[in-house]
Structure 1
Amino acid sequence: MKYISTRGQAPALGFEDVMLAGLASDGGLYIPESLPHFSAEEVSQLVELDYPDLAVEIMRPFVADFLEEEKLQVIVHDTYKVFRHKAVAPLTQLDTNEWVMELFHGPTLAFKDFALQLLGRLLDEALERRGEKAVILGATSGDTGSAAIEGCRACEHVDIFIMHPHKRVSEVQRRQMTTVLADNVHNIAVEGTFDDCQALVKASFADQSFLKGERRLVAVNSINWARIMAQVVYYFHAALSLGAPEKEVSFSVPTGNFGDIFAGYIARKMGLPIKQLIVATNRNDILHRFFADNSYAKEQLAPTLSPSMDIMVSSNFERLLFDVHDRDGQQLAAVMKAFDETGSISVDEARWQAVKQLFTSNRSSDEEVVSTIKQVSDECSGYLLDPHTAIGVKAARVCHSDKSVPIVTLATAHPVKFPESVVRAGLSEPELPLWLADLHERPELYTVLSDDKAEVHRFIQEKLGL
């Protein structure tokens, strides 16, 4: 399988090179030239598989030029044996045909573990073969950082630098990053927003001269195709559990960067019978405004109770726009250039209407988040949602168009990571799991830096001895 850039000017690459490159050389995002497709009969044959074996079947076509199946089996089983629920991604029923899929049973209590536990192992395999060392440079609005650190802390060939917006992530999110005191782990608190952190990452990838040719930069943000690939699996897992391929399933996805819901879009294109994809946003609603009004436009970022979604620009949305524009890289490059210059784009009416056949969207305020947490707790014997999942549940209840079709909300994080929302709902503060009970007593290590590329690069050089 070859991967091409959304902007059409970068060379097509195999999986290993795409994983190591992250962003394409023309500024685009890599995407498979063509997707594997499962017939209804082939989907039905997946029903009896446990999660790791299902993951092998779904991901095998994407990595066939990189890993033999036996090696893939080992890596995937190692990845998911660290999850603390036998089902890996269990489904919990809220109401008739309404479910949440709990994606928070990994080591950092967030859905990012599904991809980043895997990515760390894949990176180490690739770098070992090449005899190289790499620098992971990432930006996080909360969960990506801790999941990336946890996935890469034991990697022999990687140093990892994670930037988070200073005082704009929850305390549990911060501590899950900054209490990992491994020699190859470096946390940077940037005096700015997540989008500032993301801009620093993109600028660093565009000019890697500060590494003096001794290391390569690797991306762990959701622009890395390996992350999308891993997330496709749990859509298959949920749909199979609820009757696919005989029955359709819909999904509501809390999303800021569009990566998690784009994985659902890919699953549908691979043959999974998905009826509806609901984009659930907070007040930072660039995605909702596109699907509601055909306006993809930057606005001032506002802090919310769901900080992992406090994002002004959704990086992975470019991958959908590529398909919307007939997979024409030249055309898409012109669209993205217009967005960079004006901060606002819309698409042709017919293309927008076609997208809306699958996607709908909803926006929730902080007040609605708190209300939804309380409502679900009252209805479901004290079952707790984190604020991001509450946004997904709210959107599911507003937008679910066919009540005969099961709706699954992706529960993206454990509520203990965001206790403020639970307390504001008038409920008792959730307790950390026993294996994390001492998190608030563990020593922290991080460095506060200004939103300045040169300062960040000097810090990295110093830590690497360059």
Structure 2
Amino acid sequence: MRYCSTRGGVQGWDFRDVLFSGFAPDGGMFMPETLPVLSPDTVRSWRGLPYSKLVVEVSSLFIPAQLIPRDHLEALVSTALSGFSVPEVVRISRLGDSLSLLELFHGSTLAFKDLAMTCTVHFTNYFLQKEKCRAIVLVGFEVQKHNMEDFSQRFHSDVEDSMKDPLEEDSGLGLQKTEDRLKTERPS
């Protein structure tokens, strides 16, 4: 599986490179160069799978076994989703005969993003450990501090665990708020 940018300036990247890049260098988002074709039999075989098994099946379509072997992928997903407050990770509540509600709020931040972020953290940590590397993760300043502390703890020791607001003067990161930067760059 190879990935390209939605803006067309990047092609041929693998999952690991995309994971560590975030946005493509041309400012686009990454997407698969081709989408897997699923037979009706494959889709039917997934019916009734526990959520974590379904995540492994879908992820394996986009993450080649050469990058993360199947047994490692299963372990990573299992570990990533083990911290949810319900064993099934997501739950469907029946509200009536023809109305159901998919509950996506059983993760650590009570938001649907936990479904993806917990796996992302473990995939990233997998590569960091494999390559014996460390990383510093910069996040948007509007993210709640306790959410980021939870996020950074999941990386174990391979990611800087001091969460700083990159826009604070004493952060040491040298970033400015957009409106402050525009004031200093605007001709008088």
Calculate the TM-score normalised by the size of structure 1: 0.35
Greater share of residues in helix: 1
> Secondary structure at 1:138's aligned position in 2?
coil
Count of aligned positions: 175
Tell me which residue corresponds to 2:84.
Answer: 83
Letter in 1 for 2:134: K
123 and 189 in structure 1: CA distance in 2 versus 1, 3 angstrom threshold: closer
2:90–2:102: 8 Å Cα contact kept in structure 1?
yes
Tell me which residue corresponds to 1:451.
Answer: 177
Tell me which residue corresponds to 1:28.
Answer: 28
Alignment of 1:48-447 (within 5 A): 48-64=48-64, 65-139=66-140, 147=147, 149-155=149-155, 156-159=157-160, 184-188=161-165
**For structure 1, which runs of at least 5 residues remain unmatched after alignment?**
160-183, 192-209, 212-448, 456-466
Residue by residue over 1:105-157, the C-alpha shift from the partner in whole angstroms, topping out at 9 and shown as x without a partner, is 112211111111111111111112223222211226557x7555423314222
Say yes or no: does 1:5 pair with 2:5: yes
Residue by residue over 1:166-219, the C-alpha shift from the partner in whole angstroms, topping out at 9 and shown as x without a partner, is xxxxxxxxxxxxxxxxxx13142869xxxxxxxxxxxxxxxxxx79xxxxxxxx
**CA-CA distance at 1:54 after TM superposition:** 1.3
**CA-CA distance at 1:28 after TM superposition:** 1.0
Residue by residue over 1:295-324, the C-alpha shift from the partner in whole angstroms, topping out at 9 and shown as x without a partner, is xxxxxxxxxxxxxxxxxxxxxxxxxxxxxx
1:4–1:13: 8 Å Cα contact kept in structure 2?
yes
Whole-Å separation in 1 of the counterparts to 2:121 and 2:180: 27
> Secondary structure at 1:185's aligned position in 2?
coil
Whole-Å separation in 1 of the counterparts to 2:59 and 2:113: 17
Residue by residue over 1:401-448, the C-alpha shift from the partner in whole angstroms, topping out at 9 and shown as x without a partner, is xxxxxxxxxxxxxxxxxxxxxxxxxxxxxxxxxxxxxxxxxxxxxxxx
Q: Which has the higher contact order (CA 8 A, sep 6+)?
A: 1
Letter in 1 for 2:76: I
Whole-Å separation in 2 of the counterparts to 1:453 and 1:125: 38
Tell me which residue corresponds to 1:351.
Answer: none
Tell me which residue corresponds to 2:186.
Answer: none
61 and 125 in structure 1: CA distance in 2 versus 1, 3 angstrom threshold: same
56 and 148 in structure 1: CA distance in 2 versus 1, 3 angstrom threshold: farther
132 and 30 in structure 1: CA distance in 2 versus 1, 3 angstrom threshold: same
157 and 134 in structure 1: CA distance in 2 versus 1, 3 angstrom threshold: same
Letter in 1 for 2:138: L
2:18–2:30: 8 Å Cα contact kept in structure 1?
yes
1:116–1:148: 8 Å Cα contact kept in structure 2?
no
Whole-Å separation in 2 of the counterparts to 1:101 and 1:57: 20
Whole-Å separation in 2 of the counterparts to 1:149 and 1:37: 39
Letter in 2 for 1:20: F
Tell me which residue corresponds to 1:18.
Answer: 18
Whole-Å separation in 1 of the counterparts to 2:99 and 2:166: 39
1:76–1:118: 8 Å Cα contact kept in structure 2?
yes
> Secondary structure at 2:95's aligned position in 1?
strand
Whole-Å separation in 2 of the counterparts to 1:71 and 1:136: 23
1:3–1:12: 8 Å Cα contact kept in structure 2?
yes
Identity %: 28
**CA-CA distance at 1:450 after TM superposition:** 6.4
**CA-CA distance at 1:70 after TM superposition:** 0.4
Greater share of residues in strand: 1
**CA-CA distance at 1:6 after TM superposition:** 0.8
**For structure 2, which runs of at least 5 residues remain unmatched after alignment?**
182-188
1:10–1:25: 8 Å Cα contact kept in structure 2?
yes
